[in-house]
Amino acid sequence: MPKHILPAIAVLGLVMTGPATAKEPISLVAAGSLKAALGQVAHAFQNDTGIAVETTFGPSGLMRQSIEDGAPAHVFASANMAHPQALAEAGKGGPVVLFARNRLCGLAQPGLEVSGDTLLDVMLAQTTRLGTSTPGADPSGDYAWQLFDKADELRLGARAELESKALQLTGGPESEAAPAGRNPYAWVMENNRADLFLTYCTNAVLAQRELPELQIVTVPQALSVGADYGLIVLEDAPPSAWDLAFHILSPDGQRVLASYGFDAPGRVGE
């Protein structure tokens, strides 16, 4: 197990108040990109312990805001470290633990001629409708803007051009929601709202499973942006919430995350 995971687990152990005896349902609030992976992890935990896990998934920034506004939450899993850290600094729980990593990929329409080598040119082309999530509300949008910063280092003026043309199609409070049961990125692309969409590679894989004709474009190293995912147990959570957090950090939980394309830093023996 990597060294940076061991201290985190040790700290969690120190702040636990005792064994999980209460049968109160656990409220797990998490980033939308974690829906498939943590949905499976929560289901396994529920089967193993008999403790119900009530899940809510959505853009991390909006989820943090709902927690600050008093929405019930025991465990918060964010697509960045900043949102859970803000809650910790406000005295609403802690510590914050890195539990997964992700990165950005391009999701392209089947007829678009694009590769990793030509990605920046295609994004900048006047005819390309470039989709992103919403910065501030959804970390995926923030990471897209970080990619634009890197683009500016390669081509002066690229950042301003990309920011001005980016269509913020998902993750915001006013974003049109996909129908129930649909992958939001597959739905956006199926409805021809963008030619190329920057999203997490894990989201792109799920979208392609739904619409196999979509292309997944690897972002070249010079533009690549990584995403660190943070986990926090919130104040007044029942002891069983700590057990759920440990389950997410455990080898079994980390293997599930890895199976959905996340870099799971706590995975061992593989």
Q: List the domain range (segments joined by +) for residue 209.
A: 103-218
pTM: 0.79
- pLDDT by residue for the chain (270 residues), tens only, comes to 333 443 454 445 444 444 444 478 999 999 999 999 999 999 999 999 999 999 999 999 999 999 999 999 999 999 999 999 999 999 999 999 999 999 999 999 999 999 999 999 999 999 999 999 999 999 999 999 999 999 999 999 999 999 999 999 999 999 999 999 899 999 999 999 999 999 999 999 999 999 999 999 999 999 999 999 999 999 999 999 999 999 999 999 999 999 998 988 866 544
In a domain, 270, yes or no: no
- Is the domain of 90 the same as that of 126? no
Asked if 89 and 111 sit in the same domain, the reply is no
Residue 234 and residue 213 share a domain: no
Query: What is the domain count for the chain?
Result: 2
Residue 241 sits in the same domain as residue 147: no
CATH number, domain with residue 210:
3.40.190.10
**First and final CA of the chain: distance in angstroms?**
10
Distance CA 56, CA 95 (A): 21
Same domain, 183 and 159: yes
Q: Are 123 and 207 found together in one domain?
A: yes
Q: Is residue 211 domain-shared with residue 126, that is, in the same domain?
A: yes
The verdict on 97 and 114 lying in the same domain is no
